[in-house]
Amino acid sequence: MTWLYCFQIGTRLSMACGLPSPLCSLQYSKTLRRTQQLAVTVLSPEERLQISMLETLSSAQTHLDAMGDVHSHYSMTRNYEAKLESLKESSQENWSWSTALEVQYQSIKLFILNMTFTQDISSNDGQAILYRDTILLKCFDIASSLISTATGMSNQEIAGHHYWGGILTFYPKHYFVSLLSAASSLLWFLIAYGAATPVQQSIAITRITEAHKVFQSFPDHRDAARACITVEMAMQAVRNTTAGNANLFIKNRLGASVSFDAAFRAAQQRNRDPADGLTNPAAQWIRVNEVESRRLPLAPEQKVATPKLTRGMSAADDTTMGIWDTWNTYSNDFGLLNEPWVASDAEFAMLDIGNSMAIGGSQSTLIPEVSIGQAVCT
């Protein structure tokens, strides 16, 4: 059992960081199957499903990396999509909120892997563009469903008590990583899919707004606050980008590439000179911690000796989003990017109640702090 849990934790952390799983080799795959057979009476149906899906995605990562042409990539992706669908069908009797999130998250990761390993799309390669657009549409559908699932979980009461984050309050951090991945996939859909209809664009923006609401339900959680800031800036970057056959800036982070790409675009937008619209040199880039300090709860190491924040640390650019009706209304209601976030008395009361509640037990970072040195654009 310990080995199986190590496999789960190691694989999830690798996925979140965009690194190869240390236990995805063929040798470990055989050991994993033998261990599962020995522990079949101990593992719950949900645990067996999670391990099987992680194993499937690890195998997909290994095989897709070994292929060189877009046709083979697409064919292999469809094969692994069928395997994930088969696992989903076999678990219908034990379906739950967490199972739904797990299935949707692994499916998104599979399609992101396809976009990561394929070469940049040229305007002359019609078949490759068709494959890419098919993958983008699948990501759109699954990411929209995942965010709807997370929103439903955040609205669920627990034993008659309502928490701001619903039952998500008591779920591990990797479920929030999946929510960020879904929002990033929809942001990428708005940028890369030039044939999107107004209805599809409206749905994508609505779902991104819902994801932002879920993250904002945890004002005392630093990573959730960083997710909010990243989504806001990335939405502004999307508005300034012409949709079409764009390519990922970040392609060396495997299934996490889209999330890192969204963070990179948000960083670019934050460091854009308003006078000429050009991005400042990388050496002059400012980080989230420098401009959004009042919106970011203290990290655990900062709580040991709480520093006094000066007024100058919380200055935010006086900008407006002005993006589509849903996001524009939502951002105006909450004052996103217009003024520093300040908790109300009711929010402070909720913070006192929720100080002892943490999102999961993992200390892995939900939002990467993207810099040129950390993320190599390929």
Residue with more model confidence, 165 or 68? 165
Asked if residue 307 has pLDDT above 80, the reply is no
In this prediction, residue 355 carries a pLDDT of: 38
Residue with more model confidence, 6 or 350? 6
Asked if residue 359 has pLDDT above 60, the reply is no
Is residue 158 helix, strand or coil? Answer: strand
For every residue of 262-287, DSSP letters joined together read HHHHHHHHHTB-TTT-PBPPGGGPPP
What contacts 53, CB < 8 A, 6 or more positions away? Answer: 84, 87, 102, 103, 106
Closest CA to 49 of 40, 62, 60, 61: 40
Residue with more model confidence, 146 or 252? 146
Q: Which amino acid appears at position 18 of this protein?
A: G
pLDDT tens digits for range 217-236? 988 889 999 999 999 999 99
Closest CA to 109 of 172, 41, 43, 59: 59
What contacts 76, CB < 8 A, 6 or more positions away? Answer: 60, 63, 64, 67
% of the chain surpassing 70 pLDDT = 77
What span, in angstroms and rounded, lies between the C-alpha atoms of 85 and 345? 47
Asked if residue 253 has pLDDT above 50, the reply is yes
Asked if residue 312 has pLDDT above 60, the reply is no
In this prediction, residue 178 carries a pLDDT of: 93
Residue 102, CA distances (Å) to 20, 24, 73, 93, 97 in order: 19, 18, 23, 15, 9
pLDDT tens digits for range 115-124? 877 666 665 6
Residue 68, CA distances (Å) to 52, 71, 114, 279, 378 in order: 26, 9, 11, 34, 16
With residues binned 3-state (H G I as helix, E B as strand, rest as coil), the percentages for the chain, rounded to 5, are 60, 0, 35
In this prediction, residue 262 carries a pLDDT of: 93
In this prediction, residue 224 carries a pLDDT of: 92
Please give the average per-residue pLDDT across 134-142, as a whole number. 94
* pLDDT grade for 164, boundaries at 50, 70 and 90: confident
DSSP 299: P
